[in-house]
Chains A and B, each alone.
Chain A
Amino acid sequence: MEKITGAQALMKSLLREGVDTIFGYPGGAIMPVYDALYDYKDSVRHVLVRHEQGAAHAAEGYSRLAGKPGVCMVTSGPGATNLVTGIADAMCDSIPIVCITGQVTGEALGTDAFQEAPIIGIVTPVTKWCYQITNAAEIPHIVAKAFHIATSGRKGPVLIDITKDAQFELCEYDDSIQTVMLKSKHDPYYQKKLKRAAALLNNAKRPYVLFGHGIALSKAESELAQFIEKGGFPAASTLLGLSSLPKSHQLYVGMLGMHGNYGPNKLTNKADVILAIGMRFDDRVTGKISAYAPQAKIIHVDIDYAELDKVIPAEVAIHADAKEFLAQLTPFIKSKNHSAWIGRFRKYDEEERKVVADAELYPKSGEIRMAEVVRLVSEKTKGRAVIVADVGQHQMVAARYYGFETPDSYITSGGLGTMGFALPASVGAKIAGPSREVIAIIGDGSFQMTLQELGTIMQEKLSIKIIILNNRHLGMVRQWQEMFFEERYSFVHMENPNFNKIADAYSIPNELVQDRRTLSPALERMLSAKGSYLLDVMVRRDENVFPMIASGAGVDEIRLT
């Protein structure tokens, strides 16, 4: 067999996995691979990010739209440690990404060599799996294993660390050992539980379906719709479940959790049977656990059996893939209509609309509100854009008011709540979904965490629309200080740069919007622009996001003011 270098074997292995895009940043310990990459310019698009954290977030955004793992590749030491936030983010949100890091030579390992960081030791707790390659011959098998682990069961990030000498080493490329056996859990009571779940739902007076990211991850959107339509079940979404069911669906009742909708939270404590699928009862969803749905019989379905009975004990706990499970459950569901029960959700909607939404969606005077910006964007894009939101008040407002009509349309950092996520994630999303309108909605604080990725957008000529909802504050923290820390505003005001000049420097067309009358035309210009576009929208500085479940309160203690 002809011998090739480890670096070439890595490229061949990646191509075999169907990789056509890599988000990366070169450096000493990964140079042999970058040299090999030079020969693959035509088959692999390498996107040069401006900071390795951006590579990881871009890989996440890519994965969300491509439905396959995003790949990022960086050098050893600081290159590798810069990835960590993105890896931890992907771990929390079950996003499959494959990270490749260069490493010092095998000889130098453990000697505090130049740019040596023990990256396996650092990322072990925040990866699903990681491995250090020290022999070139291992490469084909380990790459196959990494992709398999990232995408099977509960998805997640994996990392492969490759010593520099293994990248140079000659090896025979043997990809015959491709089979990767992962243990599978077989539940002998599965059929029984399935029927028990169906019976509980069929006999329920006030059934309620809660769905999360698991629906999008298993592509179970149409199975979910068929299931709830047959049973006439009202369904509510977690933050990461958003867009898996169109907001206009007559059985969709809204978002759960701390800044979710009024009815969905209130009525969690009135349902008699709850089916929770592809969600993990995060504390932002449950509020005070002892006060969470004590009256309800809970059926919990998750692909990760470690999530079952972790937070909320379930009457029926089912370890299953959401798509398969729903397809098998629906035939057992009786056609019903729960209109009186659903009417209670609509009543709460009315209240929420009157007390909270109307005023912020359609203000007549005063400073621009975040909500009206999101409403206009939603109307102008007919709910069909991909919204990539950062972390803070603007994230919650985007989640609340964008009218998602199509799946895979809300990309945000849920579990880790990583400020700086949106701009690089939008890079990955646009590359995976070039035909979709990708709109990044970002707070002025979050934008400044990763704004260097404007350089990537410029260089790759990506048509990404960026809206900064600029309140000159770390708004979400400011809100908490106002509500829970006696208005002691401690380091939440931001003296901001001129974002328009920054966009100018990156040759990105841009506008400053300070006045309600100019908002809609500016959004029109942004949306009709061919390439990227940035709008810096000055919004009210002291807005609070409501409804809200204060931390420590129960879901039915959700407040409208």
Chain B
Amino acid sequence: MKYILNIKSENAPGTLYRIAGLLLRKKINIESLHVKEIDRKHHISHFTIEIFLAPHLMAKLIKQIDRVVEVTHAEYHRAP
């Protein structure tokens, strides 16, 4: 199943690396990636990541991403 992850985080070095690491340890390939600061004042970045993943694993993965200290919000939905 193809999913789109929407993640908001502190705009800090290493955050993408930490999130990518969570994907890597389950050998998940990143199909597409977009990162941009969306809130100058609070230094918040927004990530859009497309991945393929079995549906029963998605809910577990998003919690692990959400657990990252720098991440302020993480959600996913099925890619159209």
Contacts and interface: CB of A to CB of B under 8 A. Distances in A.
A and B: real partners? yes
Interface of A: 120-121, 124-125, 128-130, 132, 149, 182-183, 304-306, 308-310
A196 to B, nearest CB: 21
A121 B63 contact: no
Nearest to A154: B67
A129 B14 CA distance: 10
Contact of A305 (B17, B18, B63): B63
Given A125-B21, A128-B69, A306 B14 contact: no
Interface string B59-80: 1100110110100100000000
Contacts of A121: 17
Q: Which of B59, B67, B72 has the most CB of A within 10 A?
A: B67
Contacts of A125: 18, 21, 25
B17 A124 contact: yes
Contacts, number: 29
Nearest to B68: A129
A130 B25 CA distance: 18
B63 A306 contact: yes
A124 B67 CA distance: 14
Interface of B: 13-14, 17-18, 21, 25, 59-60, 63-64, 66-67, 69, 72
B72 A183 contact: yes
A64 B38 CA distance: 42
Given A124-B21, A306-B63, 7 more contacts: A120-B14, A121-B17, A130-B14, A306-B60, A306-B66, A309-B60, A310-B60
Nearest to A306: B63
A306 B69 CA distance: 13
B1 to A, nearest CB: 18
Nearest to B62: A306
Interface SS of chain A = mixed
B50 to A, nearest CB: 22
Contacts of A132: 13
Contact of A124 (B14, B59, B66, B72): B14
A305 B67 CA distance: 8
A557 to B, nearest CB: 25
B59 A309 contact: yes
Nearest to B18: A124
A182 B60 CA distance: 21
B67 A304 contact: yes
B49 to A, nearest CB: 17
Kindly name the residue among B25, B63, B72 whose own CB sees the greatest number of chain A CB atoms within 10 A.
B63
A308 B64 CA distance: 11
A308 B59 CA distance: 11
Given A124-B18, A124-B21, A149 B69 contact: yes
Query: Would you list the 9 A-B pairs with minimal beta carbon distance, nearest first?
Result: A306-B63, A125-B21, A129-B69, A306-B67, A306-B64, A124-B18, A310-B60, A124-B17, A149-B69
A183 B72 CA distance: 7
A135 to B, nearest CB: 14
Contacts of A129: 69
Nearest to A152: B69
A327 to B, nearest CB: 25
Contacts of A124: 14, 17-18, 21
B71 to A, nearest CB: 8
A308 B13 CA distance: 29
Contacts of A130: 14
Contacts of B67: 304-306
A106 to B, nearest CB: 13
Nearest to B24: A125
Contacts of B64: 306
A144 to B, nearest CB: 14
A488 B7 CA distance: 51
A309 B59 CA distance: 9
Contacts of B14: 120, 124, 130
A130 B18 CA distance: 10
B8 to A, nearest CB: 11
B41 to A, nearest CB: 15
Contacts of A308: 63
Nearest to B73: A183
